[in-house]
Amino acid sequence: MLFSRSLRLSCNPLRSIRPRPRFFSTFGPRYSIDMGTVDTTERLFKLRQLMQQHKVDVYIVPSEDSHQSEYIAPCDARREFISGFSGSAGTAIISLSKAALSTDGRYFNQAAKQLDTNWQLLKRGVEGVPTWQEWSLEEAQGGKAVGVDPSLITASGARKLAETLEKNGSSLVGIQENLVDLVWGKDRPARPSEKVRVHPSKYAGKTFQEKVSELRKDLEARKKAGFIISMLDEIAWLFNLRGTDIPYNPVFFSYVLITPTTAEIYVEEDKLTPEVKAHLGQDVIIKPYDSIFADAQALAARSQATGEDAEKFLLSNKASWALSISLGGEAKVEETRSPISDAKAVKNEIELEGMRACHIRDGAALTEYFAWLENELVNKKTVLDEVDGADKLEQIRSKHELFAGLSFDTISSTGPNGAVIHYKPEKGTCSIIDPNAIYLCDSGCQYYDGTTDTTRTFHFGTPTEFEKRTFTLVLKGTIAIDEAVFPKGTSGFAIDVLARQHLWKEGLDFLHGTGHGVGSYLNVHEGPIGIGTRVQYTEVPIAAGNVISDEPGYYEDGKFGIRIENVVMCREVKTPHNFGDKQWLGFEHVTMTPIGRNLIEPSLLSDAELKWVNDYHAEIWAKTEHFFQADDLTRSWLERETQPISK
């Protein structure tokens, strides 16, 4: 195909780069994020010069790194550097005369604030707004070339784009050097070189040898010669290892090759401690990180030289175009949803028990924080900004057993900032917390026995009737997901409407998913399951052992934001009947911190919903009050916030 023939690919697309300063908080890295704009004029000018040198008319800059990570190391933040937009999702496309940024509804507000006048915002999913692919096609009219770093786009994504461009007489070109890196130059941050550590079986629930054995059985059933793994959280999970190469995500840069007889991990050896090497033992061969591409090419060449009708290699459908081509392309590769992603999403009983335990500790930390915050704002009249709040919460969490850091940047937002769905406050530019406005806090933590993600919305003064009404409609959606019962085989796409139904009746909605998978001391956003309207949520049904967030919301731009988020675990449930002899499933909530009582309008709740709220608050009191035996302030706040509500 044309895109294969046009590829100019290096076996070493990741090279050394010079460091720049990082910004650190007391308990871990806090990277500089500013909701203001960055002047990108000079950067775009230099990029366009390079585009002309490489004879491409449009250049694509994805958000992801070469492992298709959602959250990335600072050295891979190319799209943020070239556009000024710091959200986690989006694609930048630059022609010789225009530039556009495509992102989803979580970031419309943020992108509008951060993009300068060089950029057009493409609101993904909005009727009449082109996708970034359509925008690229329009700019490439007349046989022009579209360039991309082949390590940053999936093989299937490259193939689809190339086929579309071919129909227009244009072509997709894989460019060996990343052009944004060349513009960034010596100021680009260094690639992380943090140490890898062992994740003990007492938290993982299985040895890595058991996991590799199960994977080999899967490969044998599929009749595959081997599997190259490129997703960082899959590698960390498979080998019971954790790292710190990406902020808040306990992963490390690596690739893995699994065959019926060998296991090879491609990682810089100086990242491996003696404990890690002893953990891997003789079962795993250690190879240099960058050598994966040369080894993949050698595997493809060896297969061709034998003249045999060799079995194909398995690649995740999220693996890079560069990796696929190195293995020989479509003729030698089968792309599929990774079997590891499915296995990882179904937590074993030890992991589930860890989730229960860490959410109790984390709930206690959140309760202590909210009690402290209300006392400071209302009683002491202390002036606190959003970062002061986020830092205090991190400090409280750090006191708890098995604390390993945050799971994402804390969203501490007051008033209008709460309507910016993925708002990230920065000292010097953030707002003072207003006790007479809604305060939204979305935060999470990494513990050795699990990962948390909780959103609570409070008003420390007197909320308006509309704020109470919309908050209660959101709460009704949270309860509807929590209490859902459904047959095995049901997808998250199918139950998403339960969270939105009460908002829809009043012509309201929210522009983000209702829930995402959550890792076990791994990435806080974990595929392949979730609850929402994305097409991928139709592909994999929710299964017993899945851990998912339950987080409907409502946002008034320029005024306030509301979100209520609990983490729930899918479990088998007993039903009075068993139509079709199916397994029936439901959820068990594990998040243990109160929901803002003064924002609840009891008249809008059914008797069953009111009982759910009161039972939930009684459960929180029973499971967390022992943390506050010597803390009268927090204990009094918790007792007040968990009192039964009546109509």
Q: Which pLDDT score is estimated for 303?
A: 67
Same domain (yes/no): 439, 513: yes
* Residue pLDDT, tens place only, 38-51: 999 999 999 999 99
281 and 430 belong to one structural domain = no
Residue 22: the pLDDT is 28
Residue 184 has pLDDT above 50, yes or no: yes
Amino acid at 62: P
Q: What is the pLDDT of residue 337?
A: 92
Query: How far is residue 572's CA from residue 586's CA, in Å, rounded to a whole number?
Result: 6
How much is the pLDDT for 312? 86
How many Å apart are CA 488 and CA 479, to the nearest integer?
A: 20
| Burial readout 63-83 (b: 16 or more C-beta within 10 A, e: otherwise) | bbbbbbbbbbbbbbbbbbbbb
pLDDT exceeds 80 at position 302: no
Q: Is 90 exceeded by the pLDDT of residue 617?
A: yes
Q: Which of 270, 276, 230 is closest to 253 using CA atoms? A: 230
Same domain, 426 and 561: yes
Check residue 36 and give its pLDDT: 76
Calculate ∠ Cα 641-451-373, nearest 5°: 35
Choose one of 187, 216, 249: the last residue of a domain: 187
- Cα(263)–Cα(257) distance, rounded to whole angstroms? 6
Please report the pLDDT score of residue 168 as a whole number: 86
Residue 192 lies in a domain: no
Interval 539-557: pLDDT, tens: 999 999 999 999 999 999 9
Q: Categorize the per-residue pLDDT at 311 as very low, low, confident or very high, splitting at 50, 70 and 90.
A: confident
* CATH number of residue 366's parent domain: 3.90.230.10
Looking at the predicted structure, is the pLDDT value of residue 308 above 80? no
247 lies in a domain?
yes
Which residue range(s) make up the domain with 330? 197-344
132-139 and 155-167 are packed helices; what angle lies between their axes, rounded to 10 degrees? 40
- On whether both 340 and 438 belong to a single domain, the answer is no
Does residue 407 lie within any of the structural domains? yes
CA–CA separation, 341 vs 197, rounded Å? Answer: 21
Instruction: Note whether residue 586 is domain-resident.
Output: yes
Paired tokens of 163: 């086929």
pLDDT of residue 307: 52
Work out how many domains the chain is built from and give that number.
3
Q: Identify whether residues 503 and 536 lie together within a single domain.
A: yes
* Shared-domain flag, residues 259 and 362: no
Query: Does some domain include residue 568?
Result: yes
Confidence of residue 304 (pLDDT cuts 50, 70, 90): low
pLDDT of residue 2: 25
pLDDT of 14 reads 29
Instruction: Report, as an integer, the average pLDDT of 267-282.
Output: 96
On whether the CB atoms of residues 323 and 230 are closer than 8 A, the answer is yes
Claim to verify: residue 293 and residue 236 sit in the same structural domain:
yes
Q: pLDDT higher for 17 or 594?
A: 594
* Percent of the chain topping pLDDT 70: 93
* Domain shared by 586 and 613, yes or no: yes
Instruction: Please check the confidence at residue 332 and state whether its pLDDT lies above 80.
Output: yes
Q: Looking at the domain assignment, is residue 647 inside a domain?
A: no
The interaxial angle of helices 349-374 and 607-624, nearest 10 deg, is 90
What CATH number is associated with residue 205?
3.40.350.10
pLDDT digits (tens, 9 = 90+) for 69-111: 989 999 999 999 999 999 989 999 999 999 999 999 889 989 9
Residue 45 lies in a domain: yes
At 139, the pLDDT band (50, 70, 90 cuts) reads very high
DSSP code per residue over 299-315? HHHHHHHHT--PPPEEE
Q: Where among 344, 365, 400 does a domain terminate? A: 344
Q: Compute the CA torsion angle 519, 590, 346, 444 (nearest 10 deg).
A: -10
Assigned domain for 212 exists: yes
The predicted pLDDT at position 422 comes to 85
- Best CA proximity match to 248, nearest among 93, 6, 447, 48: 447
Q: What is the pLDDT of residues 414-435, one digit of tens each?
A: 999 999 988 989 999 999 999 9
- How does the average pLDDT of the chain come out, rounded? 92
Tens of pLDDT, residues 405-416: 999 999 999 999
- Are residues 271 and 393 part of one domain? no
Identify the weakest region by mean pLDDT among 24-28, 534-538, 643-647: 24-28
Amino acid, res. 477: G
- The domain boundary, picked from 344, 367, 391, lies at 344
Distance CA 401, CA 405 (A): 11
State the Cα–Cα distance between residues 25 and 248, nearest whole angstrom.
13
Are 284 and 357 contained in the same domain? Answer: no
Alpha carbon distance 314, 337 (integer Å): 10
For residues 426 and 568, membership in a common domain is answered with yes
Examine the domain organization and report whether 107 and 161 are in the same domain.
Answer: yes
